[in-house]
Amino acid sequence: MIRTLTSRFLGYAILIFFALVFLYPFVIQIANAFKTEANAAANPLSPIPDPFTSASIERIFEGTGFPTWLGNSVLVTVVVTIGRVAFGSMAGYALSRLQFRGRRALFAGLLALMAVPPVVLLIPKFLVLNQLGMYNSYSGLIVPLLADATGVFVMKQFFDSVPVSVEEAARIDGAGVFRTFRSVVLPMAKPALITLTILSFTGSWNEFPHTLVSVQDPSLFTLPRGLADLVSGSLGAGTQYPLKLGAALLATIPVAIIFVIFQRYFVRDAAAGSDKG
Amino acid sequence: MPRGIRGNERPAGWLFVAPALIILGLFMLLPILMALWVSLTRWNGQGSPFTGDVPFAGLQNYTRLFTDEGLARQDFMTSIRNNAYYVLLVVPIQTVLALALALVVNNRLLKGKGFFRTAFYFPSVTSSVAISVVFLFMFANGGAINAILSVFGINGPQWFSDPRGLIHLAFGDQAPALLADHSLLGLSWWDWLAGPSVAMCAIITLVIWTTSGTFMVMFLAALQNVPVQLEEAGLIDGASAWQRLRHIILPQLRPTTFLVVTLGLIGTWQVFDQIYVMSQGNPAKTTLTPAFLSYRTAFRDFDYGSGAAISFVLFLIIVVLTLVQRRLTRERD
């Protein structure tokens, strides 16, 4: 009895300690975004801004490129998410269900592409955008992200796990491939589509390296790019931490909201990550 | 499969894969081939690299990294050293931490599992750039980390301007003659043995903090598949908690542990975003990694050939690790 009590107490102590370790940086971020610069420098640990000021948040909107970055981020995320969900589900369905020659080779190619580490694509992507005249444009920022190998793979795995009988019934009733896909397959694939939407949303909202090699003009920056520029560009000119933390905070909020709402999908993704490779 | 009712699916099949195929082909496969060519040239970013005017370098961009004495090899080897120390610290620590947290969260006596799982997992879904900004503030001179350290009477270092290696710090500043006089691939033995710099440690902390949650969720999923009877049998046989962990639970978790370690190895060789935002390879090149060096060589020094060559060497390192991981995963299934 005593032993269970001690182990329970110890368990909670460990959990609460690590919950603090994992969450307190966000508390620090939020609190310091509303502090004055002097107060943030003097009391970086304090969770309470004293005095409270929203001056930095106002400056983010009036004195930096933040509104532009935000607009670009929203545009990129919306278009990329739609593209990835549409193209990913189509390709995943074809690779799982449709009988055509070359299917196996395509799937093998897909697995090979998934092994390509994104960071080694920095220079290659720049080369192709430069060659196609897409460097430093919205199309260069968006089009290369419209499909991702992992998304196609996730959808293929999902369709592999669903019995064919429902579709067969529709096909017997005389519906073509496209009708069956639109009115039978997609509604059935809702859980996988939600997962893919979330993956695509967070992936494109947080995307940084691609923006680094596809655009140069500040009017084309997305939030991560603008933020990185804000931090590394003005390092010499004062610290301005409340401003930077505030901008980082605003960039984090949309993903945080999605995370809270769709938590179980996130956790399942990570758990399923074991087969993704 | 009854082909009769399905009809000819060939056109539909290709039509369905076409958009994804075109985008992946055009922006993944083609660029890799283009970069392979560029890595054999001395293209400086002017005009197109695919004309006869661009000087051909053969394998020189690669050999410069390994055999030719000079700054290129020294920088590359430094970046390999830095990244190796980074891997050596991040992978074991994040694996053990993830496993430990999963074991505690999985404890049946404790409530609030959902909350703690969420709390530990949240950092890994946020933007790497945004979180780097937060850690830059926390590790600033007189920042939160040093404030905590001073509570324990420790005078925190100036994290991002301190290039001293941990091993050097432990054994003194003076290089023994034996280590200083011998060198390997352009770095003295003493330099190879520097350990991660203080600045790199700040980045290591950030990365462990962000990724442990993801791996914890993987361990948690695996733990839930450990048959309860197994543990109970151990309990009846009078095995202590440690013995049960060591001889019953850990063997059951072996496949997941392998996976977490190899995914960790693959991920840690790709560190880029945090370096870009927090240190840009400084101080004294001690946070330079192959990924960042390749970027810097191409886009700051306009030596695209060398930059691409570094990318491909890194590519090779990661592909080998990926193949190992896939083999292990297949063996498990």
Please give chain B's pLDDT, 333 residues, in tens: 444 556 678 888 899 999 999 999 999 999 999 999 999 998 888 888 888 778 888 888 898 888 888 888 889 999 999 999 999 999 999 999 999 999 988 887 788 888 888 889 899 889 999 999 999 999 988 888 988 888 898 888 888 888 888 887 888 777 777 777 777 887 888 788 888 999 999 999 999 999 999 899 899 888 888 887 877 888 788 778 788 888 888 888 888 888 898 889 989 999 999 999 999 988 889 999 999 999 999 999 999 999 999 999 999 998 888 887 777 767 655
Q: What is the pLDDT of residue A274?
A: 43
A166 touches chain B (CB under 8 A): no
State how far the Cα of A39 lies from the Cα of A49, in Å rounded to an integer: 8
Cβ atoms B192, B81 nearer than 8 A: yes
Q: Where are the alpha helices (DSSP H) in A161-189?
A: 165-172, 177-180, 186-188
| Contact check, Cβ <8 Å, B322/A115 | yes
Give phi and psi for B165, each to the nearest 5. -80, 150
The closest of B142, B115, B133 to A30, measured between CA atoms, is B133
Q: What's the pLDDT tens digit per position in B133-143? A: 999 999 988 88
Cβ atoms A226, A66 nearer than 8 A: yes
Which chain A residue is nearest to residue B128, measuring alpha carbons?
A206
The closest of A177, A207, A189 to A81, measured between CA atoms, is A207
Q: What is the pLDDT of residue B158?
A: 86
B50 touches chain A (CB under 8 A): yes
Q: What's the half-sphere exposure (Cβ side, CA atoms, 13 Å) at A87?
A: 24
The closest of B313, B308, B128, B293 to B209, measured between CA atoms, is B128
Angle at A15 between CA A9 and CA A21, to 5 degrees: 135
Structural domain tally of chain A? Answer: 1
The closest of B40, B60, B58, B59 to B50, measured between CA atoms, is B40
- Going from the C-alpha of A96 to that of each of A23, A92, A163, A202, A231, the distances in angstroms are 41, 6, 11, 26, 45
Q: What's the pLDDT tens digit per position in B116-163? A: 888 898 998 899 999 999 999 999 888 889 888 888 988 888 888 888
A119 touches chain B (CB under 8 A): yes
Answer yes or no: is A157 within a domain: yes
What percent of chain A lies above the pLDDT cut of 70? Answer: 93
pLDDT bin (cut points 50, 70, 90) of residue A248 is very high
Mean pLDDT of A40-46: 85
Q: What is the pLDDT of residue B1?
A: 45
- Going from the C-alpha of A58 to that of each of A242, A244, B53, the distances in angstroms are 11, 12, 52
State how far the Cα of A255 lies from the Cα of A198, in Å rounded to an integer: 9
Contacts of A29 in chain B (CB under 8 A): 134, 137
Q: Tell me which residue has tokens 């001056």.
A: A55
Q: What is the pLDDT of residue B233?
A: 83
Answer yes or no: is A1 within a domain: no
Q: Which of residues 96-115 of A touch B (CB under 8 A)?
A: 98-103, 106, 110, 113, 115
pLDDT bin (cut points 50, 70, 90) of residue A272 is low
Reply yes or no on whether the pLDDT at A261 is more than 90. no
A273 touches chain B (CB under 8 A): yes
Specify the length of chain A in residues: 277
List the single best residue of A69, A122, A168, A249 to mutate versus B (max B Cβ within 10 A): A122
Q: What is the pLDDT of residue A276?
A: 37
- Going from the C-alpha of A80 to that of each of A68, A74, A114, A231, B253, the distances in angstroms are 18, 10, 18, 26, 37
| Contact check, Cβ <8 Å, B17/A95 | yes
Mean pLDDT of chain A: 87
Cβ atoms A228, A208 nearer than 8 A: yes
Comparing A138-142, A169-173, A187-191, the range with the smallest average pLDDT is A169-173
Q: What's the half-sphere exposure (Cβ side, CA atoms, 13 Å) at B212?
A: 27
Q: What is the pLDDT of residue A235?
A: 46
Cβ atoms B211, B267 nearer than 8 A: yes
What is the residue range of A166's domain? Answer: 72-222+255-276
State how far the Cα of B158 lies from the Cα of B164, in Å rounded to an integer: 11
Token reading at A174: 């005389």
CATH code of A146's domain: 1.10.3720.10
State how far the Cα of A190 lies from the Cα of A188, in Å rounded to an integer: 6
Q: What's the pLDDT tens digit per position in A224-237? A: 999 998 887 654 44
Q: What is the pLDDT of residue A29?
A: 93
Q: What is the pLDDT of residue A66?
A: 92
Q: What is the pLDDT of residue B6?
A: 62
| Contact check, Cβ <8 Å, B147/A227 | no
Q: Which of residues 5-34 of B touch A (CB under 8 A)?
A: 5-6, 9-10, 12-14, 16-17, 19-21, 23-24, 26-32, 34
Question: Which among A101, A118, A147 has CB closest to B23?
Answer: A147
State how far the Cα of A215 lies from the Cα of A222, in Å rounded to an integer: 10
Largest CA distance in chain A: 73
Cβ atoms B273, B128 nearer than 8 A: yes
Higher pLDDT, A111 or A2: A111
Q: What is the pLDDT of residue A275?
A: 41
Q: Which of residues 258-297 of B touch A (CB under 8 A)?
A: 259, 263, 266, 269-270, 272-273, 276-277, 280, 291, 294-295
| Contact check, Cβ <8 Å, A87/B144 | no
* Helix A241-261, helix A55-63: angle, nearest 10: 90
Contacts of A40 in chain B (CB under 8 A): 137
State how far the Cα of B280 lies from the Cα of B111, in Å rounded to an integer: 43
B137 touches chain A (CB under 8 A): yes
Count, in order, helices (H) and strands (E) of chain B.
18, 2
Q: Tell me which residue has tokens 């992946």.
A: B24
Answer yes or no: is A65 within a domain: no
Answer yes or no: is A130 within a domain: yes
A87 touches chain B (CB under 8 A): yes
Q: Which of residues 5-64 of A touch B (CB under 8 A)?
A: 7-8, 11-12, 14-15, 18-19, 21-23, 25-26, 28-29, 32, 40-41, 44-45
Reply yes or no on whether the pLDDT at A99 is more than 70. yes
Q: Where are the alpha helices (DSSP H) in B107-140?
A: 113-121, 128-138
Q: What is the pLDDT of residue B255?
A: 84
Domain ranges (residues) in chain B = 3-60, 65-332
List the single best residue of A5, A21, A22, A249 to mutate versus B (max B Cβ within 10 A): A22
Q: Residue A221: is it exposed, middle or buried by C-beta count within 10 angstroms (0-12/13-18/19+)?
A: buried
Specify the length of chain B in residues: 333
> What ipTM was estimated for this complex?
0.88
A79 touches chain B (CB under 8 A): no
Cβ atoms B188, B180 nearer than 8 A: yes
B65-332 CATH choice from 3.20.190.10, 1.10.3720.10, 2.40.30.30, 2.40.50.100: 1.10.3720.10
Give phi and psi for B71, each to the nearest 5. -65, -35
| Beta-carbon contacts below 8 Å between A and B | 295
Q: Residue A219: is it exposed, middle or buried by C-beta count within 10 angstroms (0-12/13-18/19+)?
A: exposed
Reply yes or no on whether the pLDDT at A92 is more than 50. yes
